[in-house]
Chains A and B, each alone.
Chain A
Amino acid sequence: MKKYLKKALIYSLAIVLMVVAWHVVYKIVANDYVVPSPWETFSKLDDVWNNSKFWVAYGNTMLRSVISFAISFVVAFVLAVLAKKSNLIRELLVPGLSVLRSIPTMAVVLMLLVWLTPKAAPIAVTLMVILPMLYTSILSAFDQVDGELISMCKVYKISWIRRVFGVYLPISGAYLTAESGAALSFSVKLMVSAEVLSNTYKSLGGMISQSKVYMDMPEMLALTLFAVATGMIIELLFKLLERVLFKWRVYD
């Protein structure tokens, strides 16, 4: 308990120091359109919090982020299982995934906007970026499973499905949960960026884009702070999930 209290105090101190630094920069720049005051931004946070339109936009952005993450995870998981089972499939996937990894995100958003609607384009772009990331994480997690355990599975004729759900997933699960938390948090950030570029209606990114049009810097920052907080909460929740789901690791 004492350890958690100490950690909470250190984190609070870090936040206070960041706000102080922000205030100092605000005073030095002395231009509300460039750097808004922290106090004005916090007051805007309160306005945004009490605005029902914000919650609709926030809900849409989160839903889209979760959809792209879920699709990416399922596809990456299936591909990683197939790649683990067959070296040919693993090799066949390398060029395609390398292309996906190297495509500039912003260029893809602009191209996808031509082909898709502003609501669908951010989902597609997030999916394209998250998919190779998750595939690599899942496959390297599978690769880290001790080869001796796999020999044991072969001798005891444990089927592939049972190996995946009884050996690979639980053993690499803790690492995968942490990686998934980071990937979901990243999808939110990507989704907001893609929505800003697509100017998606009723979305967090769309609202940020609107604030930019009206040069409402405090609102822009307030909305950005919501996105940052969401990412941090997601990673925290996944860390908690990891502790609950993989209790056996405490003894390992």
Chain B
Amino acid sequence: MIKLSNIYKSYGREVVFKDYSISIPKGQITAIMGPSGSGKTTLLNILAGLIPYKGTVEGMPDVKAYVFQQHNLLPNKTLLDNVKFAAPKCENPEEILNLLGLGPYMNKYPSQVSGGQRQRAAVARALAYDAGVILMDEPFSSIDRDLKLQLITEIKAIFTERNITCVIVTHDIEEAKLFANNIVEL
């Protein structure tokens, strides 16, 4: 279990979390849902250790991966080099890219592939990093519906097979139901 207890976070005078507590089961996919401005990304950033906060976070592994909303792939590196850059210890980055259907595109730059392929590459990078937890911030928001459903099915299968702990933030109920084992509303 990953346990967040008595979390307090504010931006200036705007309080996002006050005495907020939540438990996230390991080895499962948990979706955090809520409307815009409810603090979904803030919660993910707290788990990632990207922003300061008050309170305690227990059970969060030191090695974690993050699939950002805008993929955040380096534009100067090919998909394969992006994976290698973030996960230099990974012995089979090509295999992981193949697993996500990116075999023919691994030597292309992010700008040469579609939005869906970029998101797959970001997921491949997270998988290659061999993290204890994968955090995902609305990773399918900029992808059209058909592709989104296909990606969700493929990625969920990989995560389930590998018993990966994943926390995904979304405002799309359909996405949350299809992808996650548990849903938490903010």
On chain A, the residues within 8 Å of B109 by CB distance are 248, 251-252
A171 to B109, CA, bound (A): 13
B71 to chain A, nearest CB (A): 9
On chain A, the residues within 8 Å of B29 by CB distance are none
Q: Is the CB of A158 within 8 A of B85?
A: yes
Chain B CB within 8 A of A156 CB = yes
A251 to B66, CA, bound (A): 25
On chain B, the residues within 8 Å of A91 by CB distance are none
Interface with B: A80-88, A130-138, A144-152, which one?
Answer: A144-152
For the complex, count residues of A whose C-beta is within 8 A of B: 20
Closest residue of A by beta carbon distance from B113: A251
On chain A, the residues within 8 Å of B48 by CB distance are 155
Q: Is the CB of B75 within 8 A of A252?
A: yes
B137 to chain A, nearest CB (A): 10
Q: Is the CB of B129 within 8 A of A156?
A: yes
Q: Are A252 and B111 CB-contacts (below 8 A) given A155-B48, A155-B50, A155-B65?
A: yes
Q: B-facing mask of A31-57, CB < 8 A → 1, else 0?
A: 000000000000000000000000000
Residue in contact with A251 in the complex, picked from B49, B70, B111, CB distance below 8 Å? B111
Q: Are A248 and B86 CB-contacts (below 8 A) given A151-B68, A152-B66, A155-B50?
A: no
Q: Are A156 and B65 CB-contacts (below 8 A) given A148-B70, A151-B50, A252-B109?
A: yes
A146 to B76, CA, bound (A): 13
A220 to B109, CA, bound (A): 51
**Those of A141-166 within 8 Å (CB) of chain B:** 146, 148-149, 151-152, 154-158, 162, 166
A169 to chain B, nearest CB (A): 9
On chain B, the residues within 8 Å of A152 by CB distance are 66, 68, 72, 86
Chain B CB within 8 A of A167 CB = yes
Q: Is the CB of A248 within 8 A of B66?
A: no
Chain A CB within 8 A of B1 CB = no
Closest residue of A by beta carbon distance from B125: A156
**Those of B61-87 within 8 Å (CB) of chain A:** 63-66, 68, 70, 72, 74-77, 85-87
On chain B, the residues within 8 Å of A248 by CB distance are 75-77, 109
A248 to chain B, nearest CB (A): 5
Q: A-facing mask of B4-38, CB < 8 A → 1, else 0?
A: 00000000000000000000000000000000000
Q: Is the CB of A171 within 8 A of B112?
A: no
Q: Are A171 and B50 CB-contacts (below 8 A) given A148-B68, A155-B64, A248-B109?
A: no
A182 to B64, CA, bound (A): 43
Q: B-facing mask of A235-252, CB < 8 A → 1, else 0?
A: 000000000001011011
A156 to B126, CA, bound (A): 9
A162 to B84, CA, bound (A): 12
A246 to B111, CA, bound (A): 14
24 A–B contact pairs at CB < 8 A? A146-B72, A148-B72, A149-B74, A151-B50, A151-B68, A151-B72, A152-B86, A155-B48, A155-B49, A155-B65, A156-B66, A156-B86, A158-B85, A158-B86, A162-B85, A166-B77, A166-B85, A170-B77, A246-B76, A248-B76, A249-B76, A251-B109, A252-B109, A252-B111
Residues of chain B whose beta carbon lies under 8 Å from any beta carbon of chain A = 48-50, 63-66, 68, 70, 72, 74-77, 85-87, 109, 111-112, 125, 129
Having A156-B86, A171-B76, one finds 6 other A-B pairs with CB under 8 Å, namely: A149-B72, A152-B72, A154-B49, A155-B64, A170-B76, A170-B77
Instruction: Give the 4 A-B residue pairs with the shortest CB-CB distance, closest first.
Output: A170-B76, A156-B86, A152-B72, A155-B66
